[in-house]
Each structure stands twice: as structure tokens, then as C-alpha cells.
Amino acid sequence: MTDQASTLLVLGGSTDQLFMIRTAKEMGLRTACLDGNPAAPGLAAAHISAPIDFSDLPAVFQWVNRQDEIFAGVSTMGSDVPHLLAAIGAHYGWSVPTAETGRLATDKLAMKECFTANGVPVPRFCAVESAADVRHSWLQWGCPRVIIKPIDRAGSRGVLLLDESQDIEKAVAHATSQGMSGRLILEEFVSGPQISTETVISQGQARTPGFADRVYEGMESFHPQIMENGGWLPALCQGQELEKQVVSLVEQAAAALGVKEGAAKGDVVVCPERGPMMIEMAARLSGGDFSEGLVPLSTGVNYVRTIIEIAMGWQPDWPALQPRKNRVVANRYFFPCAGTLEEVDLPDDFVSQDEVIKVVLNYQPGDVIPEIRSHGDRAGVMVVVGNSRGQVQGLVDQGYEKIRFKIDGRWVTGKPRQ
């Protein structure tokens, strides 16, 4: 580390990037933040900032060149923009994903083709354009359910699970309307436990400090939409052979995408017959609670710091990725029914407990809660910790029971399937 080049440029200043800005400051770095929204909190949190849309590359270059700071790198978290990191980093010679990694990681079809070409197991998949294409491949695969998605969206937007009862024409129209390009991918639905991972890669080495079980309890109520309602750390398979298999799978997947310096966030399904398979991988850090809250709470490891070290072109502190504690952590999302939110009951005897780390609600009284169709619509989250899954499940149950929403005159909870 040198004193000369000590400024990190952070793309985005929403709540998703605040933790990165905070962590960089704790590391003694100068921070710069760009966000097109002048009210983004990261703009005030960073040492220097500007309300610039960071996809406007000429504006970014002009602003960076005008500063007195000596920048050493660029990074982000929660924002799926590896192609922009690639373009900005390539311009200044910083440590970033390549443009090709950015392309593969943001196109679900190109990604799956790349995985297949590199021997990384994935569910059966193909490009589809019409209901006839869907019927043809579904029949060929002979599986009970398939899943259709836009190739270029995230957060479950436009992702639909199809069984015999679904109207295929409608599903194709919906997935097409939710995508950017309108291109679609069809996949065999592999049923089995799902795991979220986060891998840190640099100088030919990889570590996977982010590892959690995904929870889909009660999510049948959103069918044919498919969304998890939270996660568990540590995952049930940790310490077992399956953990090693999943780690090896995601590290192989990151290598296939060409991630050489930075983060890779994996969605894995464990097929009971064929073993772990890649659903997808993003070339970035998670937003939300995973890297900023759940993993540090469970293991004491902050790998956002490691990603910053890599972005700055430093040697990563690998030993810092060794877990220092082992607590059980759960996050659960709130999905109340649609309607006008009139009141929220957030009882103090729940939120004041030491084990209740946070409760964040996304709607205020007066807001209209829409029919929830993707993670962008969910009504909030709680994060709780404890020493066993039993204890933490008890807290989750309490939270779902006690936190209530008055919607169109009726009190309901945010627990899926009520």
C-alpha cells in the first residue's frame, strides 16, 4: 500500500454500497462515489462525490480526471455492472473484471453455454422464442417442470416456474415483457436444496467465505413466480463433503467466466441424483444483507474488505478470511398481501431483543403494496442471530407473528402463505 494512490471509486451510492464506502474508510482509504440520484446517501458518505450516472462513461472519465485525488481502483457491491467496472478499470489500468467476464455474467444464456463448454454442471437449458419452442424442449427433456426467464434480468424478475397447469403463451409473454432484450432462456427445473455462495478471487487463488442455505418456505403462494424468503448461515452441509463439492463447483464456475480479480456470487442447486449444479453466477458482491451483514455476523469475516484490497491492486489478506466465530444467523423477508398499507405494528418486545439485529420495512403507511412479483417489491427484512437453528427459528417465528401490517382495514403478517 502506498500513500500516493489511496482513493477508491465506488460506483453507486445507494444503501447497497454504503457498507463498501464505510469499510474503505475504516481501511484508511479516501473514497469517491458516483450516483445519478443526487439524494443517494453514498454521495454524502464518501469523501468526494458527484451526482453522475456512472453508465455515462465520458462523464465518469471527465470527472475522475478533474479531481486532485490519486485513484487506485474502482469497485461496487450489489450493483450488477461488471461491464462498467471493466470499461472504467481498463481505461485507468485498474484491477477489474474483463469485458468478456462482464458479458458472460450478465447474459444467462451465454453464461450457461460457457459453463457447459467448461464442464461446469448446469440444469438442461436452451434459448426459446415462443410457446412452441417451450413445448418442444419440455417434451424432449421429459421433466415435470421447467423454468423460463429473461436472459438479462436479476432479482427473480420475469422468472416463472411452469407446470402442467400454466398457460405457456402467457408465461412467454410475461418473461419477454420483463426482459431488456426480450431474449429468453428455458431450463429444466431442478428440485433440491439451494445454496448461495460468494467467492473472492485474486492471483490464481480463490476462497469462498460466503456460504448460506436459501429458504423457500411458503413460497408456493407466489407460484408461478419463484423467490426465496431468506437464508440460513451456516448452511446445513458445512463441514461435510457436500460443502467441498459446492466450493469446488463455484470456484470452477468463476474460472469459466474468467473472474481473475474480484468477487463471484453463485446460486447453486443440489440435485439429489446429479449433485450440485450452477443456476447462475454474478461477477460481483451481493447487495442486501449477505456480504455486509449475515456473513460478518455468522463468521466475523468481512470480505468486502478483501474485495477492496483487490480493487486497490494490493495483495489480499487471505488469513483474514478464516472464520473467527460460528453463530447461527437467519434473514427472512416480509411478503404481506397487496393493498394500501394503513399502519404497521413493530412491537418493541420483539425488536428490542439483543438477538434481533435488524428489522427494515420498505413501505410506509399510505403506500400501496403491489402484488409481489419480484424481490424489488418485497416489504422488508428481519435479521436474527443465536446459537442454534432451533433458537433462531423461534425468533423468526416470533418476528413473523408479531410484526403486522394493516392493509385495507385488515391486520396481516408478512409471512408468506397466510
Ligand X SMILES: Nc1ncnc2c1ncn2[C@@H]1O[C@H](COP(=O)(O)OP(=O)(O)O)[C@@H](O)[C@H]1O
Give contact residues for Mg ion (rule: CB under 5 A).
267
If one asks whether residue 105 binds ligand X (CB under 6 A), the answer comes out as: no
Of 317, 307, 196, 204, residue with least CA distance to 255:
204
For ligand X, which is the closer residue by CB, 88 or 285? 285
Nearer Cβ to ligand X (149/174): 149
Q: How far apart are CA 227 and CA 245, in angstroms?
A: 25
Least distance CB 239 / ligand X (angstroms): 24
Name the amino acid, one letter, at 237.
C
Closer CB to ligand X, residue 189 or residue 334?
189
Name which of residues 244 to 273 contact ligand X (CB under 6 A). 267, 269
- Cβ neighbors of 142 (< 8 A, separation 6 or more) are none
Residue nearest to Mg ion (CB): 267
Contact with ligand X (CB under 6 A) among 43, 279, 344, 403? 279
Instruction: Report, in Å, the least distance between residue 406 CB and ligand X.
Output: 31
Length of the chain (residues): 418
Number of residues in contact with ligand X under rule CB under 6 A: 18
The x, y and z cell numbers of residue 94, run together, are 485498474
Least distance to Mg ion from the beta carbon of 280, Å?
A: 5
Q: 267 or 342: whose CB is closer to Mg ion? A: 267
Site string for ligand X, 312-351 (x = CB under 6 A): ----------------------------------------
Nearer to ligand X, 174 or 305 (CB): 174
For ligand X, the binding residue among 60, 74, 104, 147 (CB under 6 A) is: 147
Handedness of CA 142, 148, 381, 403 (dihedral sign): negative
Supply the minimum distance, in Å, between the C-beta of residue 63 and Mg ion: 32
CB of 375 to ligand X, least distance (A): 8
**Least distance to ligand X, CB of residue 146, Å:** 8
Strands (E), 246-321: 262-271, 275-282
Find the shortest distance in angstroms from Cβ 189 to ligand X. 5
The values of phi and psi at residue 38, to 5°, are -60, -20
Tell me: does residue 222 bind ligand X (CB under 6 A).
no
Nearer CB in complex with ligand X: 155/275: 155
123 binds ligand X per the rule CB under 6 A:
yes
Nearest 10 degrees: Cα torsion 303, 309, 312, 315: -140
- Beta-carbon contacts of 105 under 8 Å, excluding residues fewer than 6 positions away, are 80, 82, 97, 111, 257, 259, 281, 282, 283, 284
Cα-based torsion angle of the residue sequence 49, 54, 58, 59 in order, rounded to the nearest 10 degrees:
-40
d(C-alpha 418, C-alpha 416), whole Å: 6
Q: Between residues 155 and 300, which has the closer beta carbon with respect to ligand X? A: 155
Nearer to Mg ion, 375 or 406 (CB): 375
Provide Rg for the chain, Cα atoms.
21
Residue type (1 letter), 105 = A
DSSP state of 414: S
Single out the residue of 110, 127, 143, 154 in contact with ligand X (rule: CB under 6 A). 154
Burial status of residue 98 (CB atoms within 10 A of its CB: 0-12, 13-18, 19 or more) = buried
Residue appearing with cell numbers 489478506: 317
- Nearest to ligand X of 213, 261 (CB atom): 213
Placement of cell 484490497 in the chain: 309
Minimum CB separation from ligand X for residue 325, in Å?
Answer: 28
149 binds, among ligand X, Mg ion, none (CB under 5 to 8 A by kind): ligand X
Residue 69 or 267 having the CB closest to Mg ion: 267
Beta strands in 151-218 (DSSP E): 160-162, 184-188, 194-202, 205-215
Kindly state the cell numbers that stand for 333: 423477508
How near is the Cβ of 213 to ligand X at its closest, in Å? 12
Query: What is the rounded distance in angstroms from the CA atom of residue 67 to the CA atom of residue 390?
Result: 53
Q: Give the bridge partners for 81, in sequence order.
A: none
Residue with cell 482509504: 29
107 touches ligand X by CB under 6 A: no
Site mask for ligand X (CB under 6 A), range 174-213, x = bound: -------------xxxx---x-------------------
Which listed option, Mg ion, ligand X, none, makes contact with residue 159 (CB within 5 to 8 Å by class)? ligand X
Binding site for ligand X (CB under 6 A): 123, 147, 149, 154-157, 159, 187-190, 194, 226, 267, 269, 279-280
